[in-house]
Amino acid sequence: MTSILMHTCCAPCSLSCIDPLRAEGIEPVAFWYNPNIHPWKEYEARRDCLLAYAPTIEMQVIVDEDYGLRTFVEHVASDIDHRCTYCYQHRLEETARYAAEHGYETFTSTLLASLYQDHDGIKAAAEKYARQYGVEFLYRDFRPNFRAGNQRARELGFYMQKYCGCVFSEQDRYQKQIDRDKKKFAEQA
């Protein structure tokens, strides 16, 4: 079986990727590098869920520990609406770099499982860094497995996040509630 370094954003998304890769004779090695996830408790919950699950399916996990709140915010603060571009590029560059430095010929990402991510943006960033670091990027559209993977994650009792990862995506996730509360308290004033 051929190994592949698989950037892994969370255990639930990994469920959409692992079995299809293994069915192709490719063994994923999970690579945790997610300095975009905030706050710390969210970061910790996602990381620890992956670390608890991986041994149950005999999947290796490599953790590049970097809770990067300050650096992430410094890079996206001037253009919050386009923060995802930086987020994809930063995480996929680190994955490609790690792959090249540690003998992996190929890498991929669980970001490709989400129905909510920009696949063209992910693919463009990954291909750019694949060329730069001399490794191959394996593109697979794992989205058809997304709903089944999430259902399986619930059955397994995984921690299920409510937003993509950064504090700005958390605000986006809860914006309707924020607006309702703002209106409610304005009416009371």
List binding-site positions: 9-10, 84, 87
**Distance between CA atoms of 130 and 107, rounded to whole angstroms?**
8
Phi, psi (rounded to 5 degrees) for 159: -65, 125
Say which DSSP state 174 is in.
Answer: H
* Interior angle at CA 49, CA 95 and CA 60, nearest 5: 50
User: What 3-state DSSP class applies to 148?
Assistant: helix
User: How do the residues of the chain divide into helix, strand and coil, expressed in percent and rounded to 5?
Assistant: 60, 10, 30
* Interior angle at CA 46, CA 44 and CA 87, nearest 5: 95
- Give the residue ranges of the annotated binding site for [4Fe-4S] cluster: 9-10, 84, 87
Longest Cα–Cα distance in the chain:
65
Q: Which of 10, 8, 16, 2 is nearest to 113 (CA)?
A: 16
